[in-house]
Amino acid sequence: MSLSRKEVLEEMGLSPVWVRRDGPPVARRAPTDAGTAARGDERAPPVREENRSAATSSTIGAVDPSVGVERMDWNLLRRSISECRACGLCAERQQAVPGVGDENAGWLFVGEGPGAEEDARGEPFVGQAGRLLDAMLAAIGLKRGEDVYIANAVKCRPPGNRTPESAEMAACFPFLKRQIALIQPKLIVLLGRAAVSSVLGEEGSLASLRGKTLAFREGDREIPVLATYHPAYLLRNLPDKAKAWEDLCRARALMRKLQGK
Ligand code: URA
């Protein structure tokens, strides 16, 4: 999806929208994306540490049970995700949504879970929240698929677009962990509470985590992590777009530093 500069600024709430006095009223579109964030509720159930470590490759039902998730290559990982029956979300999915983008990306963005459109198309963030995410990326000079990988805390759509439960996020976490290990991103941006809960096992509010540089341990590396609002939440809470913009600017500055620029 390619957006003009004007569209990007408008999506981010960064440009005044001039309305002709005699023109039609500006219509606000209703969000249709999944989960907590779409309901404007940025609280998600925390993934407890014991659950995160309890979810191992043996709970996943991998394609080849002799290959643990932690040793899978991309092809096996994608197949394993698409055939996964580790939690109840598999029952109602049309298809699993592993993730999309550059498998050697510097940037990893993590959302909550697929919504209806993502479930139908097999790609994350293709609905209305996805349009805003693309605008957020464009605002800091990024483009889906170019040095950017997009994944979710859970790979299957929670029925009725509800928030994924903590056990579901824990069951899916080995996949996300393996994606992080394969990508080796320079920076991870967590979109909303569910992503924070899944990746960091953090229980704090998003407001208390924003603006801090957090870390995810991957092998002997600490990958810097920033948290910001989920695009679906921002569609409902327009004033917070300014805060998300601050977070994005911070992320861009941190990335420049990490790149030694
Ligand atoms: N919301 C998410 O968190 N992920 C998607 O893929 C779509 C909407």
The pTM score is: 0.83
Mean of pLDDT values over 25-30: 32
Whether 209 and 202 have beta carbons less than 8 Å apart is answered as: yes
More confident residue, 52 or 221: 221
Please report which confidence band the pLDDT of residue 20 belongs to, taking 50, 70 and 90 as the band edges: very low
Mean of pLDDT values over 112-122: 98
Domains of the chain by residue range: 39-258
Atom of ligand 1 nearest to the CA of 124: 6
Share of the chain above pLDDT 70, in %: 75
CATH number of 39-258: 3.40.50.720, 2.170.190.11, 3.30.70.260, 3.40.470.10? 3.40.470.10
Atom of ligand 1 nearest to the CA of 194: 3
Mean of pLDDT values over 54-82: 77
The DSSP letter of residue 25 is P
Torsion (CA) 211, 217, 222, 228 in degrees, nearest 10 = -20
92 Cα distance to chain centroid: 21
Distance CA 241, CA 25 (A): 22
Q: Give the residues across from 222 on adjacent strands.
A: 217
Atom of ligand 1 nearest to the CA of 97: 6
Chain mean pLDDT for the chain: 85
pLDDT tens, position by position, 179-191: 999 999 999 999 9
Confidence (pLDDT) at 67: 81
More confident residue, 207 or 1: 207
Pocket test residue of 32, 33, 136 for ligand 1, highest count of atoms within 8 A of CB: 33
Confidence (pLDDT) at 112: 98
Please report which confidence band the pLDDT of residue 204 belongs to, taking 50, 70 and 90 as the band edges: confident
Residues at CB less than 6 angstroms from ligand 1: 33-34, 111-115, 118, 124-125, 127, 129, 152, 232
